[in-house]
Structure 1
Amino acid sequence: MDELIKQLTDRLGIDSATAKGVTGKAMGMIKENIDDSTFSKLASSLPGLESLIQSENDGESADAGGGMLGSLAGMASKMLGGSTGNSLELGTALAAKGLPLEKLGEFVTMLVQFIKEHAGEQVLDQVLARFPMLKGVLDQGK
């Protein structure tokens, strides 16, 4: 995971703490929304993933959720349901962690590419199935 954090800080111009925070949050949400078998494959391919997620969870207070924006995203997520809601919540959570919205697309592109390179296309496809809006962000960047 250190490799990804370095890439994020270099290319996005964000500090290491923000890079770790947004990556830990994104991967934690992925973990919550994919099956255990897929997450196991992902974690075994990305050394340090589980500790990054754990440190992100340890650093959050019980009410951390992005304030009013986070609450609205949570409500919209419930109304939209399923994978569409997951993607909306992810974008809001990353913004709450300090990722500038204009860098969201590049962050997603880098994260997806990293997962593909290290865990393989099959695992990536299972992640994208739960977050289809991320695929849309990728398609816009082409």
Structure 2
Amino acid sequence: MDELVGRLVAAAGISEQTARRAVEIIIGFLKDAGPPDKVAELLAKLPGAEAIESPGGFGGMMGAMAAFNALNNAGLDMGEIQTVTRELVAFARQHAGSQLVDDVVGSIPGLGQFV
């Protein structure tokens, strides 16, 4: 995940600690809101993603809002959240391929507006 964290720091102008927290939150959201088989397949292809401890609590109808609030509470504004999300998706496409990423993103209502 060091490569991804470095990309987030550079792209969003955030601290390494904030970038790591953002990755934890987003991966937690994917685990809670996405189709388990596709998310597991995706995370298996992202270096270091399976070892990340995610906070959880992002399931159900309010999952996207809870994840957004968690990112905001971690110190990210709307622009930084969009930048972080787009960079994470680009990183995932690079390592797991566009089809799998599109399958996961498309299966989670509201996620497409951030990527």
TM value normalised by structure 2:
0.83
**Residue type of the alignment partner of 1:15:** S
Give the TM-score normalised by structure 1. Answer: 0.69
Which residue number in structure 2 is paired with residue 27 of structure 1?
27
Counterpart of 2:75 in structure 1 is 98
Q: Please, what is the CA RMSD of the aligned residues?
A: 2.4
Aligned-residue offset at 1:132: 3.7
Residue identity matched to 2:96: A
Amino acid at match of 2:84: F
Aligned-residue sequence identity (percent) comes to: 28
Rounded Cα–Cα distance in structure 1 between residues aligned with 2:35 and 2:108: 13
Question: Residues 128-139 of structure 1: matches in 2 within 5 Å?
Answer: 128-138=105-115
How far the C-alpha of 1:102 sits from its partner, in A, is 2.5
Query: Do residues 117 (structure 1) and 91 (structure 2) align?
Result: no
Aligned to 2:3: 3
Which amino acid in 1 is paired with 2:46? L
Task: Sort the Cα spacing of 1:107 and 1:119 in 2 relative to 1 into closer, same or farther, 3 A.
Answer: same
Task: Name the CA distance, whole Å, in 1 between partners of 2:114 and 2:20.
Answer: 21
Instruction: Say which SS state the counterpart of residue 76 (structure 2) adopts.
Output: coil
Amino acid at match of 1:86: G
Which structure shows the higher helix fraction?
Answer: 1
Q: Secondary structure at the match of 1:136?
A: helix
CA drift of 1:10 comes to 1.3
Task: Give the secondary-structure state (helix, strand or coil) at the position aligned to 1:40.
Answer: helix
Following TM superposition, the consecutive aligned residue runs of length 4 or more in structure 1 with deviations greater than 4 angstroms are none
Unaligned runs of 5+ in 2: none
Task: Structure 1: give runs of 5+ residues left out of the alignment.
Answer: 66-73
SS at match of 1:89: helix
Shift of 1:28: 1.1
Q: In 2, Cα distance between the equivalents of 1:136 and 1:28? A: 18
What is the match of residue 41 of structure 1? Answer: 41
**2:12 alignment partner in structure 1:** 12
Whether the 8 Å CA contact 2:35–2:107 is kept in 1: the answer is no
